[in-house]
Structure 1
């Protein structure tokens, strides 16, 4: 295991938690599809940034 793997694992966990929250907001009617996709894209960008670090 490299030193980068724990940081990446944390980033993946954070992404999954944030994605679940975005889906929950959508499912409960608090966000529309466009807003949910925008949130997911932002979280995916954060995950990509963590991967590149």
Structure 2
């Protein structure tokens, strides 16, 4: 595993956590409904899984 792969995965995790926090904040403030929040979280999870799969390959 190269430093680039580790960095890519770490970046993906950081991006996911930031995105998830933003979704929760928007939901708590009433800016988005539950369905929209789940859709955005699903998108962030997809990105995280893709980064993990690339690192594992």
Structure 1 unaligned residues grouped into runs of 5+: none
TM-score (norm 1): 0.90
Residue 35 of structure 1: aligned partner? 36
What are the equivalent positions in structure 2 for 1:5-44 lying under 5 Å apart?
A: 5-44=6-45
RMSD between aligned residues: 0.8
Report runs of 4+ in structure 1 exceeding 4 Å deviation: none
d(CA) in 2 for partners of 1:33 and 1:7? Answer: 30
d(CA) in 2 for partners of 1:30 and 1:11? Answer: 25
Query: Number of paired residues?
Result: 52
Cα offsets for 1:9-38 (capped at 9, x unmatched): 110000000000011110000001111011
Structure 2 unaligned residues grouped into runs of 5+: none
